[in-house]
Structure 1
Amino acid sequence: MSAARFLVSGRVQGVFYRASTREQAQALGLSGYAKNLPDGRVEVVASGEDAAIDALERWLWRGPMAAEVTQVTREHCVAPDGDGFRTA
């Protein structure tokens, strides 16, 4: 088990990015959250199997149909408390 924090830039707010990320993360068996940041980015924290986190990262670059992702940064982090994946 590991955890990663992603910061996603581009047109990622108001396009169902967080809800779609939650669906993808749940399908991959990940725990964590996705939340909007005041600067227009979305923060995603995910914990679980390394391969599942890597798969989520690939999906974050695409996002839902209306999104226009310009950058995804990744850093290691401490796994968030709790089970499941939520939006904030």
Structure 2
Amino acid sequence: MSVNYEAAVVQVTGRVQGVSFRVWTRDEALRLGLAGWVRNESDGSVLALIAGPNTAVSTMVERFWQGPPGASVSSVEKQPTTLTERPTGFRITG
């Protein structure tokens, strides 16, 4: 993978379910040219894999703090990850 490519798993907590956070995440990620997935977790958080250019990943992490209207984000935790292959597209998985 190139030096300018980054992948991270991001967990977002707060009031992030029931406010279209997953749809908003997919739309923002696609606008930024990111690939990956997003899903709701049983603990009430949202988990996302975001992969793409370093600057786009950084921008998405910043945008997670705002989220869609109705969201109230209390934390955004980013964990870098290593991928065996680059994902294509961005999907809602759960």
TM-score, structure 1 as length reference: 0.95
Cα distance in 2 for partners of 1:30, 1:57 equals: 12
Cα distance in 2 for partners of 1:67, 1:83 equals: 27
Unpaired runs of at least 5, structure 1: none
Match of residue 49, structure 1, among 31, 35, 53: 53
Unpaired runs of at least 5, structure 2: none
The CA deviation at 1:63 is 0.1
Cα distance in 2 for partners of 1:50, 1:83 equals: 16
Cα distance in 2 for partners of 1:21, 1:77 equals: 19
Q: Deviations over 1:35-87 (max 9, x none)?
A: 00000000011000000000000110000011000000011012365311111
Q: May I ask how many residue pairs the two structures share in their alignment? A: 88
The aligned counterpart of 1:29 is: 33
Two-structure CA RMSD over aligned residues (Å): 1.1
The 8 Å contact of residues 40 and 47 in structure 2, kept in 1 or not, is answered as: yes
The aligned counterpart of 2:16 is: 12
The aligned counterpart of 1:86 is: 91
SS of alignment partner, residue 56 of structure 2: helix
Percent of aligned pairs with the same amino acid: 36
- Structure 1 runs of 4+ with >4 Å offset: none
The CA deviation at 1:2 is 1.3
